[in-house]
Structure formats: structure tokens, C-alpha cells
């Protein structure tokens, strides 16, 4: 499992506009990376809408938000549009980034294989993990106050 103080695994994934986005694109900024199981499910929607509703808090803490799931870029585009999400959603359809962040279920509900676990990472502007939380229970959400506290300490 990845821990605070370790380098964040770099990645390059497609966003909802079918453009590649890399972690390196955020050098110099703090990034909150949220892995989530599936677009359009109740807990995932609540989690990402929580981030949307508090976007000014994260902006004020010099942080960008990235949501990552194994959904296709097309599914994520529809989800982003319907929920009016003002941050990047990236498709880890090949499951490589979720695996690199130790955030992948071998088997999820309905016997689905290779679904992202719900996880949260705060990566500082130099690419170092400052906060890591990987949840085994998909019904739980990350500790948003701990994420904000970590970002506060970075500023």
C-alpha cells in the first residue's frame, strides 16, 4: 500500500474530452486524487458532488481534484455533464493506475472484476503523497476533513 512520504506513481489517462492528462501536468499544485468504483452509483455520486459543492474550499487550498474510475471516457463524460462536476474525470479503463495505487478490487459486486476501490490521495506539487486512504468498503467515503487538513498544512 502506498503511504505518505512516497512518490506518487505517475500516470497518463484520457479525460472526458478524450485528451490525455498526466499527473506531471499538475506539477507545482496540490492534487486530490479520488478513485471511485463506478459512475452513476449512489455513493460515488454523493462523494463527487461533495467535492463539487466544496470546490471553492479546495481551490482556496491550492488544490486541483481528479476523479479516476475504470469507466469509459464516454460514460464519465455523461456523468460529469449530468452532475456538473468542475474537475477532471479520468478513465482507467485498463486498470493500470488503480493497480499502481493499490486501489483495485479483484472482485466487486455482481462478480465484476477489476473495479477501482474508493480511495483518496493528496499529492503535493513535487509529486509526493501527503495523504493516502484506501477503503475496502465501497459504501464508505474518504475523510474529507483529513484531506482538507492535509492541504491546509501544505499551504
Domain ranges of the chain: 12-154
Residue 112 has pLDDT above 90, yes or no: no
Assigned superfamily of 12-154: Glutaredoxin (3.40.30.10)
| Catalytic residue (one of 23, 34, 44, 68) | 44
Stated pTM of the model: 0.96
Is 44 known to be catalytic?
yes
b/e map of 117-151 (b: 16 or more CB within 10 Å)? Answer: bbbbbbbbeebebbbbbbbeebeebbebeebbebb
d(CA 41, CA 36): 10
Q: pLDDT > 90: what percent of the chain?
A: 94
**Confidence at residue 1, expressed as pLDDT on a 0 to 100 scale:** 87
Give backbone dihedrals phi and psi of 94, rounded to 5 degrees, phi first. Answer: -85, 0
H or E stretch at 130: strand 129-135
Q: What is the pLDDT of residues 21-37, one digit of tens each?
A: 999 999 999 999 999 99
Q: What is the pLDDT of residues 79-101, one digit of tens each?
A: 999 999 999 999 999 999 999 99
Amino acid at each position: 500500500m502506498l503511504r505518505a512520504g512516497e512518490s506518487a506513481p505517475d500516470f497518463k489517462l484520457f479525460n472526458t474530452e478524450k485528451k490525455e492528462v498526466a499527473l506531471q501536468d499538475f506539477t507545482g499544485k496540490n492534487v486530490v486524487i479520488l478513485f471511485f468504483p463506478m459512475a452513476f452509483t449512489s455513493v460515488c455520486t454523493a462523494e463527487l458532488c461533495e467535492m463539487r459543492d466544496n470546490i471553492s474550499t479546495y481551490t482556496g487550498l491550492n488544490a486541483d481534484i481528479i476523479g479516476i474510475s475504470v469507466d469509459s471516457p464516454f460514460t464519465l463524460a455523461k456523468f460529469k455533464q449530468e452532475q456538473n462536476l468542475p474537475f477532471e474525470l479520468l478513465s482507467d479503463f485498463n486498470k493500470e493506475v488503480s493497480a499502481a495505487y493499490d486501489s483495485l478490487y479483484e472482485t466487486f459486486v455482481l462478480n465484476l472484476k477489476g473495479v477501482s476501490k474508493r480511495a483518496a490521495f493528496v499529492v503535493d506539487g513535487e509529486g509526493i503523497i501527503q495523504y493516502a486512504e484506501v477503503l475496502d468498503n465501497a459504501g464508505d467515503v474518504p475523510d474529507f476533513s483529513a484531506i482538507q487538513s492535509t492541504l491546509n498544512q501544505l499551504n
